[in-house]
Amino acid sequence: MTQRTPAARRGRPPGTSARELEVIALRLFTERGFHETTVDEIAATAGVSRRTFFRYYDAKSDVLWNEFDAEVGTITEHLAAADADLPVLDAVREAVIAANHYRAEDVPELRMRMHLLSSVPELAASA
């Protein structure tokens, strides 16, 4: 009796996520440049289709804002829930601290992201 090998699975790999696309895009943008990196290259490196990329993001530049959007949401939630008697600066400080959950090992990624956001005019404009 011959053993059959399972057929290769088609479609999106099970581990693909917005975060995975974000990390891959950030690396490619840093290595090749923002304008020189295409959505097709990001998708191929992640092992997904161009269509899958656009299920997560509306545009190539959106991958750089993924984490920031979540942070803004956290800040907004904390400010909305802040005690009305808390001084404004204290409320803002607490909200920003709650949103910034970075570890020391996250610093290189943050630096790459901030460099891109400040050195590519279109990205800086959308900030």
Model pLDDT, residue 14: 55
Structure tokens at 7: 């057929």
The 10s digit of each residue's pLDDT in 74-121 is 999 999 999 999 999 999 999 999 988 788 898 898 899 889 888 888
- Give, as one character, the DSSP assignment of residue 100: -
Does any domain span residue 3? Answer: no
- Domain interval for residue 63: 18-126
Tell me the CA end-to-end span of the chain in Å, nearest whole number: 62
Distances (CA, A) of 12 to 17, 64, 90: 10, 21, 45
Tens of pLDDT, residues 52-70 = 999 999 999 998 887 777 8
Count how many domains the chain has. 1
Residue 66 resides in a domain: yes
Instruction: Record the pTM.
Output: 0.71
- Residue 25: band (very low, low, confident or very high) from pLDDT cuts 50, 70, 90: very high
35 belongs to a structural domain: yes
CATH number at residue 101: 1.10.357.10
85 SS3 class: coil
Answer whether residue 88 is part of any domain.
yes
pLDDT for 64 equals: 86
